[in-house]
Chains A and B, each alone.
Chain A
Amino acid sequence: MNDLRTRLNARKPAADRAFTINCVPGISLVFSLLVSSHVVAQSTAPTIRLFPTTVVEDLRQTSSVAKEMESGLQEVIGRLDQQQQLYLESKCDGAEDDPGCQRLSRQLGATYLDMLAIMEERLPDMEHTVNNTRLSLEKRLRSELGNKMTPWTLQETLLGGNPRETSAPSPTMRGRSGMRLSERFKQYYQLVASSSSQTDQSLAVLASDIYLDMEETSELIARTREEIARATLIEQLNQSFGTITPEMMEVVGGVKSILFGDETSQMQIAGPPPASIEQAYRSPLEN
């Protein structure tokens, strides 16, 4: 069983570890948290208002900010790739005392600092839009699902009109899907913007999923911003000694895969065997 709480909790120790090493793994975690969503497409009109225009607009804005951040980082990451390649091809690994290698190492470190600077510059916007979305959703969830519904009505909402109908085709957006960050937000936006074609059950799940992502993302962005100054200082010190840390290499790889997608294929789980709804027995005792 795919336990979402386990999924969320499993991220936290990884995030904590990342922050003690360097800020950028934190950033990559931030991005990875922005991806999950349960997508369900049904065709009845919603009666609960979980996605007013403000939330839709916040999501669109977040997608746009993420795109700007990607554009800014794309060039610097490309440069880092080239420098790293050159460093390896020059067999500098293990030859740190070589003057040429020291120069390459400093160049690599400088580019790395550029990347940190771009993230530092873009993160406040990201934090702002993520927080706006989170607060709007929080208000709607509290009102629509928390205060206006009993446990039974919530269950009926999630089941929709036909409790025997399997809802989601597949959780295609949950987890790291290998797509660009801005694309993920674009998908959130498109799903929510076309909410008139979604049922209440899918909207409730979608809103919950986005909200929990935003909640954790918001916290991680704040912590990441605090860490950037420290990481920058450490890298500036490394520059003085011409050292390339293993974390730098990992960070660049991580940021690339999260921002620009990776090749990791998603595990497909077989769906349930088809059942005949017509033949389903309905007891007079059934609720």
Chain B
Amino acid sequence: MRKMKVSAPLKVALLIATCSAMLASCATTPPPCVSPQTRNLDHAIEDVKSNLRGGGCAAHFDRYYDELLTIAEGDPKAENKRVFSEFLVWSGDQGLLSQRQARDYYNRYFNVKFTSMQGDYNNCSHTCPRRDRVMLNMERELSDKERGLLKVSLDSAGYYRADELYQEVELVLEATCTACNAVR
């Protein structure tokens, strides 16, 4: 009898522990991180923000950004630049992105300048040894600019300037690197 009296509280404790564990596991289950279901950019951004709040879906940021760009392509307008900029500033404020990441996300798609054309050292020593890679990265970035500037923001002048800049950089780097490498 005495033995039974001891085991009953134990059973209760065990039950409580099991329930707590189950509840805890429910709490840590990752949220579904669903894609925005609307084709309206403003609403889609609100959906994404609500998913990103709290950081549960932060790992899906790239996918969300891509989906938002796709939605914006369906309703291209100059105003979209501002919408994306504000979304990225918000993401920075929420701690989802660093300031630098936010800048890169914006500039890669919506700025004429190339983020892949960066470096703290001179061209002869830094850019020329890896010129092919730099040009390849710029080419990829140009394709993102086509999406951001042309297809999302209808900024054809900006995109054509970026395209022209790409060609100028290619020409100038070819000449400069030839000059840097010349041993006469």
Contacts and interface: CB of A to CB of B under 8 A. Distances in A.
Is A bound to B?
Answer: yes
Interface of A: 1-5, 38, 135, 137-139, 141-142, 145-152, 154-156, 158-159, 163-168, 201, 204-205, 207-209, 211-212, 215, 271-275, 277, 279-281, 283-287
Given A150-B120, A152-B117, A152-B118, A283 B81 contact: yes
A165 to B, nearest CB: 7
Given A142-B180, A142-B182, A285-B103, A204 B157 contact: no
Q: Is the interface of B mostly helix, strand, loop or mixed?
A: helix
Contacts of A284: 85, 89
B106 A285 contact: yes
B113 A272 contact: no
Contacts, number: 172
Closest 3 CB pairs of A and B: A275-B157, A208-B175, A283-B85
Q: How many B residues are at the interface, by size bracket?
A: 35 or more
Given A274-B157, A285-B89, A148 B165 contact: no
Nearest to A279: B78
Interface of B: 78-79, 81-82, 85, 88-89, 102-103, 105-107, 110-115, 117-124, 126-128, 134, 155-161, 163-180, 182, 184
B178 to A, nearest CB: 6
A4 B85 CA distance: 34
Contacts of B89: 284-285
A167 B175 CA distance: 19
B171 A159 contact: no
Nearest to A207: B175
A277 B157 CA distance: 9
A164 B175 CA distance: 25
Contacts of B184: 135, 138
Contact of B122 (A147, A155, A158): A147
B165 A150 contact: no
